[in-house]
Amino acid sequence: MEYSILLQELKNKFENSILSVDETADIFTITIAVEAVKEMITFLKEQHNFIFLTDLCGIHYPEEDKELGVIYHLHNLVANKRIRLKTFVTKENPQVESLVSVFSGANWMERETFDFYGIDFVGHPNLIRILNVEYMDYYPMRKEYPLEDATRSDKDDRFFGR
């Protein structure tokens, strides 16, 4: 299976949804429109043997128009090919279709992405926080929450057992 053939097939089927292609990256990378996520991944799984969802995670680019991203890594175990899909959404409408009906393993990965980036996976059966406490009211991995300043001096070390 060659990526060029795969790309041509994807272009035929989802011509308006492919926003950009990066062939120089370590893994063949396609940026796609958010509407096509589930359909394209189902297509890749069923027609092109990408049966293994390696990874699903979020990312935040505060300078972009569409700030929040979801990154999928799929793996075709037979041909040993990986593919990376990216999709971006705005902070106001962070809706991405859930993949739980395609990959059961996406369940917790989507919950983790929701927990840290606040991406709303539409159709997820149980979209609640997974690693953080339930009453947390912000999404800590977004870039507007910087880590504590390492040079601050107003903390008394005695209170921290140091």
Question: Residue numbers of the site for other proteins (CB under 8 A)?
Answer: 25-27, 51-55, 57, 59-60, 71, 73, 77, 80, 82, 84, 103-105, 107-109, 112, 116, 129-133, 140-141, 147, 150
- Least CB distance from residue 27 to other proteins, whole Å? 6
In terms of C-beta distances under 8 Å and separation of at least 24 residues, what long-range contacts does 115-121 make, across chains too? 115/139, 116/58, 116/140, 116/141, 116/142, 117/58, 117/59, 117/60, 117/68, 117/141, 117/142, 118/68, 118/94, 118/142, 119/58, 119/68, 119/70, 119/89, 119/94, 120/94, 120/95, 120/96, 121/96, 121/97
Nearer Cβ to other proteins (25/153): 25
- The smaller minimum CB distance to other proteins, of residues 12 and 138, is found at 138
- For residue 73, the minimal CB distance to other proteins (Å) is 6
To other proteins, the closest distance from the beta carbon of 78 in angstroms equals 10
DSSP 156: -
Distance of closest approach, residue 12 Cβ to other proteins, in angstroms? 27
* Nearer Cβ to other proteins (5/27): 27
Give the integer Cα–Cα distance in Å for 35 and 97: 8
Give 18 or 130: the residue with its C-beta nearer to other proteins.
130
